[in-house]
Amino acid sequence: MSIKKWALKKPISKKIAENLKNYPELTQKLLFYRGIKTIEEAEIYLNPNFERDVLDPFLFADMDKAVDRIIEAIHKKEKIIIFGDYDADGVPGAAILASFFERIGYSDFDVYIPDRHLEAYGLSEKSVKQFIADKIDLVITVDCGVTNNEDIALAKENGLDVIVTDHHLTGETLPDAVAIVDAKRIDDKYPFKSLAGSGVAFKLVCAILTRDRFNVPVGWEKWLLDLVAIATVSDMVPLVGENRVLTYFGLKVLRQTRRLGMIALLHELKIKPENVMEDDIGFMIGPRLNSAGRMSHASQAYFLLQTKDGIEAVTIAKHLEEKNKERKDSVDVILRGAEEKLLGKNLPPVIVVGSVDWSLGVLGLTSSRLVEKYNRPVFLWGKNGNGEIKGSCRSDGTVNLVELMKEAGGEDYFINFGGHIMAGGFSITEDKVGELAERINKAYEKIEKKDVAVSIEVDEQLSLDEVTWDNYYQVEKLGPFGIENTKPVFLLAGVDIFSAKTFGNGGIHLELAFKNSKGKVIPAIGFFVCPPSLVGENFDGQNGHHFPEVNLTAGQKVDILVNLEKSTFKNFPELRMRIVDIKKVHPVK
Q: What is the pLDDT of residue 171?
A: 87
Q: How far apart are CA 568 and CA 274, in angstroms?
A: 11
**How far out from the chain centre does Cα 99 lie?**
22
Superfamily of domain 5-33+459-583: Nucleic acid-binding proteins (2.40.50.140)
537 or 388, greater pLDDT: 388
CATH 2.40.50.140 residue window(s) in the chain? 5-33+459-583
Q: What is the pLDDT of residue 453?
A: 63
Q: Looking at domain 344-446, which of 3.40.50.970, 3.20.20.60, 3.10.310.30, 1.10.275.10 is its CATH number?
A: 3.10.310.30
Nearest C-alpha neighbor of 500 from the set 567, 547, 449? 547
Please, which pLDDT band fits residue 1 given cuts at 50, 70 and 90?
very low
- The per-residue pLDDT for range 451-489, each reduced to its tens digit, is 766 689 999 999 999 999 999 999 999 999 999 999 999
- The per-residue pLDDT for range 194-203, each reduced to its tens digit, is 999 999 999 9
The residue-averaged pLDDT of 518-540 equals 83
The answer to whether 294 touches 326, Cβ cutoff 8 Å, is no
**How far out from the chain centre does Cα 515 lie?**
35
The answer to whether 456 touches 581, Cβ cutoff 8 Å, is yes
Q: What letter would DSSP give residue 319?
A: H
The residue-averaged pLDDT of 45-67 equals 97
- The per-residue pLDDT for range 227-278, each reduced to its tens digit, is 999 999 999 999 999 999 999 999 999 999 999 999 999 999 999 999 999 9
Nearest C-alpha neighbor of 94 from the set 192, 176, 175, 197? 197
Q: How far apart are CA 46 and CA 36, in angstroms?
A: 11
62 or 451, greater pLDDT: 62
Q: What is the pLDDT of residue 426?
A: 93
- The per-residue pLDDT for range 325-366, each reduced to its tens digit, is 998 889 989 999 998 998 888 899 999 999 999 988 889 989
Can you name the residues that pair with 138 across neighbouring β-strands?
A: 80, 161
Q: Which residues contact 22 (CB under 8 A, 6 or more apart)?
A: 39
CATH 3.10.310.30 residue window(s) in the chain? 344-446
Q: Which residues contact 577 (CB under 8 A, 6 or more apart)?
A: 467, 492, 522, 523, 524, 525, 560, 562, 563, 564, 565
Each residue of 437-464: b (16+ CB within 10 Å) or e?
bebbbebbeeeeeeeeeeeeebbbebeb
Nearest C-alpha neighbor of 199 from the set 49, 92, 52? 92
The residue-averaged pLDDT of 537-555 equals 89
- The per-residue pLDDT for range 381-409, each reduced to its tens digit, is 999 878 889 999 999 989 999 999 999 99
Average model confidence (pLDDT) across the chain:
93
Q: Does 414 have pLDDT greater than 50? A: yes
What's the fold here for domain 57-250?
inorganic pyrophosphatase (n-terminal core) (3.90.1640)
Confidence (pTM): 0.88
- The per-residue pLDDT for range 181-229, each reduced to its tens digit, is 999 999 999 999 999 999 999 999 999 999 999 999 999 999 999 999 9
Q: Does 156 have pLDDT greater than 90? A: yes
Concatenated DSSP letters of 29-90: HHHHTTT--SHHHHHHHHS--HHHHSPPGGGSTTHHHHHHHHHHHHHTT--EEEEE-SSTTH
Q: Does 586 have pLDDT greater than 80? A: no
The answer to whether 480 touches 236, Cβ cutoff 8 Å, is no
**How far out from the chain centre does Cα 178 lie?**
29
**How far out from the chain centre does Cα 93 lie?**
14
Q: Which amino acid is at 214?
A: F
Altogether, the residues listed in the chain come to a count of 589
299-306 helix and 90-103 helix, angle to the nearest 10 degrees: 40
Q: Does 2 have pLDDT greater than 70? A: no
Q: How far apart are CA 120 and CA 110, in angstroms?
A: 20
The answer to whether 94 touches 304, Cβ cutoff 8 Å, is no
CATH 3.90.1640.30 residue window(s) in the chain? 57-250
- The per-residue pLDDT for range 91-109, each reduced to its tens digit, is 999 999 999 999 999 999 9
Nearest C-alpha neighbor of 57 from the set 165, 139, 160, 153? 165
- The per-residue pLDDT for range 547-582, each reduced to its tens digit, is 989 999 999 999 999 999 999 877 788 999 999 999
